Amino acid sequence: MRSILRSLLFNSRKNVKANVNKIVSVLNDITKERLIVQGTILHGHLIKTGISSQKHIAVKLLIMYLKSRKPKEIGQMLKEFDGFNLVVHNCLITANLEWGKMDEARRLFDEMPERNEVSWTAIISGFLRFGRVDEAICYFERNPFQNLFSWTATISGLVQNGLSFKAMKLFVEMLQSGVIPNNVTFTSVMRACGELSDFYLGTCVLGLIVKVGFEHDLSVSNSLITFNLRLNDVVSARRIFDRMQCRDVVSWTAILDMYVQMGDLAEARRVFDEMPERNEVSWSTMISRYSQNGDAEEAVNLFHRMVQQGYKPNKSCFASVVSALASLEALITGRIVHGQILKIGIERDAFIGSSLVDLYCKCGSSKDGRVAFDSILEKNVVCWNSMVSGYSLNNQLEEAKELFDKIPQKNNISWNSLITGYLEYEKFDEVFEVFSDMLLSGEQPSKSTFSSVICACASLASLERGKNLHGKVIKLGFHSDVFVDTALLDMYAKSGNVESSKKIFKRMPKRNEISWTAMIQGLAENGFAEEALAVFEEFEWTKSITPNELILLAVLFACSHCGLVDKGLHYFNSMEKVYHMQPNARHYTCVVDMLSRSGRLSEAEKFILDMPCEPEVQAWAALLSGCKTYRNERMAVRVAEKISELAEKHPEGYVLLSNVYASAGRWLDVLHTRKEMKEKGLKKSGGCSWIEVRNQLHSFYSQDGSHSESTEIYEVLELLRSEMQLI
């Protein structure tokens, strides 16, 4: 394009005059790429050569200024158009549509003294672009120039509005009226067949395409690829691609996306690297897919490469890369990219805004997130949801609820975002309350909703409620979802119903590392530690998932609880050697607990002292507990001293300390420890047990009379006791 521009600028006056068509094409490109500086230079040159008032060129210049919103130049140009008002009117209508001023465009149209086929097509496609389908159809029916263009514009507009069936009906009417479709019509109609997932209809249209002679057309072939992909016919899509005489960036991007959707990111990357030509969309596809597939780092790398190679990222690209940065919690890079977004001036876009909200909230700054949210011009439900989950993430649950109540049109994710917030911060009553409000509002709970609510049941070991939800899950057919199944198996395991838990685990069609961890932990916690280790061995056989820190913690826990000390030590040592992961303080605590439980106290003490990281107070507590069981008072004193150093912040250390003194009969020390705790204002959250009766949770704390009906409860207990004595 630039070379054409240069040749035009330096060509003689005669040559320029001979090249009106070429100039029109250059002006089209300038307008498309928003190169207003070059456009103004060219305009100056055209004035000098006296060609600027040529009708076709003047119209293109006007459109260029209209699209760049240059009011001064627009006014100047309009003065030159006394002779051909109709064309100017059409340009103004198009420009107003571009600016989102549909009603202004309609006013201009209605006031026109005469209209041509361009005016009618422009206003019809305008209505369709703004989703005003009924008005579009009304104007289409009134249109005296029902030509190929207006048929095609209406059909494609209907498809874009998701009304593919209506579009197909109109296509049939078009054929009946004798108008022959062109490549654009076929492209839209093929898309409609794809949206309807109608193979038969697609085949009929394909026959027509061949008959009319468009089967080798570039855009028609591209739409045929997409049609086949839509129907999951990967082989046909690839065949069409391979047989194409010429391919453009759209064809390559479609085939690239095919591999991405098949989950073959490596092949997609190969296609991407081999593509002869790339544009922002191809980059955008690759970036977004990496981001969606959890490889945020690669998404960001590609973004940097794209910028380095001189491509200008568009809205989609920015939205994807900001989303990737959000999952990496990369605040600094995020702020730099935000700066670029502000420079281009697209921060008010709903897609960009939502991902910015997400970025700041995931980095812990809901304040910045709120600023980004407030600046979005037309907020859609995703923007609202991002902000609600942003508040939820940052434990600002009141703000989350307040904003949630203001969402104009909530969807499933709005409810889920709020529920997740309450779940994360253990507000279980609110989880159930919002869930019940959701059902009352008529919103269908999704798999995600169930997995969260069942998780709440697991935390409360609320078996009855959990069973009830399990029933609903089966009814709705959500029981083969990996998240729902994992939540269910965890709920059963935490409620002590290991058999049901195992049943679900065995039936799961797909498992992730959380499912395996929940099963291993569940078995270990319920006393089936050897079975837990057998499940871990089975996990190792699968080889499809690499073990993570949590799963090894569950394994160590299992070993510790069935006295398999050497096996436990073996797993602990293989963490670095075999699995290449650094054990953290919790793994060390687990090993200390394991050694202390089996009486290997000196080994445990040495293990703590040799630790490369700061031991948790729980590690010392585990050792102290071992000292108590195996009556090693000398070590207990040493450990107790260590704990009392750490106990400032950890009240559970003091409690343990006083228990050790109590078991040794050192009552003065007990009193002293308790007094110290009281003086320092430390309070250990009291132990609590609970029972669920008819969906109502009854909690009992260690002090008497904590339950509202405790007098009656004790009376019944007394009655039972006396009856038992009678027997």
Partner DNA sequence: TTAGGGTTAG
Q: Which of residues 288-327 bind DNA (CB under 7 A)?
A: 288-289, 291-292, 314-317, 319-320, 323, 326
- Selected range binding DNA among 5-13, 279-287, 515-523, 693-701, rule: CB under 7 A: 279-287
- Kindly state whether residue 187 participates in binding DNA, applying the rule CB under 7 A: yes
Site for DNA in 510-529 (CB under 7 A): none
- Kindly state whether residue 35 participates in binding DNA, applying the rule CB under 7 A: no
Rounded to the nearest whole angstrom, what is the least distance from the CB of residue 715 to DNA in the complex? 44
Site for DNA in 242-261 (CB under 7 A): 248-250, 253-254, 257
Task: Kindly write out the interface string for residues 439-478 of this chain, putting x where it contacts DNA by CB under 7 A and - elsewhere.
Answer: -------xxx--xx--x-----------------------
696-701 vs 688-693, strand pairing mode? antiparallel
- Kindly state whether residue 481 participates in binding DNA, applying the rule CB under 7 A: yes
CA-closest candidate to residue 548, choices 574, 502, 577, 517: 517
- Selected range binding DNA among 64-72, 144-152, 398-406, 537-545, rule: CB under 7 A: 144-152
Site for DNA in 376-435 (CB under 7 A): 380-383, 385-386, 389, 412-414, 416-417, 420, 424
Site for DNA in 63-82 (CB under 7 A): none
DSSP state of 562: T
Site for DNA in 152-171 (CB under 7 A): 152-153, 156, 159-160
User: In angstroms, what CA-CA distances link 48 with 22, 43, 45, 61?
Assistant: 18, 9, 5, 15
DSSP for 225-243, please give it: HHHHHHTT-HHHHHHHHHH
CB closer to DNA, 248 vs 603 = 248
Site for DNA in 325-364 (CB under 7 A): 326, 349-352, 354-355, 358
CB closer to DNA, 108 vs 184 = 184
Give the chain's end-to-end CA distance (angstroms, integer).
103
- 380, amino acid identity: N
- Kindly state whether residue 125 participates in binding DNA, applying the rule CB under 7 A: yes
Rounded to the nearest whole angstrom, what is the least distance from the CB of residue 94 to DNA in the complex? 7
Query: 417 with 392: CB under 8 angstroms?
Result: yes
683 φ/ψ sector (left φ>0, alpha ψ -120 to 50, else beta) = beta
Query: 400 with 392: CB under 8 angstroms?
Result: yes
CB atoms < 10 A from the CB of 180, how many?
A: 10
CB closer to DNA, 455 vs 532 = 455
- 105, amino acid identity: A
The size of the chain, in residues, is 727
Instruction: Tell me the backbone φ, ψ of residue 409, rounded to 5 degrees.
Output: -135, 100
- Kindly state whether residue 228 participates in binding DNA, applying the rule CB under 7 A: no
- Kindly state whether residue 618 participates in binding DNA, applying the rule CB under 7 A: no
Could you give the CA distance from residue 546 to residue 554 in angstroms, rounded to a whole number? Answer: 15
- Kindly state whether residue 584 participates in binding DNA, applying the rule CB under 7 A: no
Rounded to the nearest whole angstrom, what is the least distance from the CB of residue 4 to DNA in the complex? 19
Could you give the CA distance from residue 289 to residue 270 in angstroms, rounded to a whole number? Answer: 14
CB closer to DNA, 31 vs 285 = 285
* Residue of 11, 54, 182, 301 interacting with DNA (CB under 7 A): 182
Query: 303 with 289: CB under 8 angstroms?
Result: no
Kindly give the residue spans of alpha helices, DSSP state H, lying in 585-709.
585-597, 601-609, 617-629, 633-646, 651-663, 667-679
* Residue of 164, 284, 500, 618 interacting with DNA (CB under 7 A): 284
Q: Please work out the total of residues on this chain that contact DNA, with binding judged by CB under 7 A.
A: 75
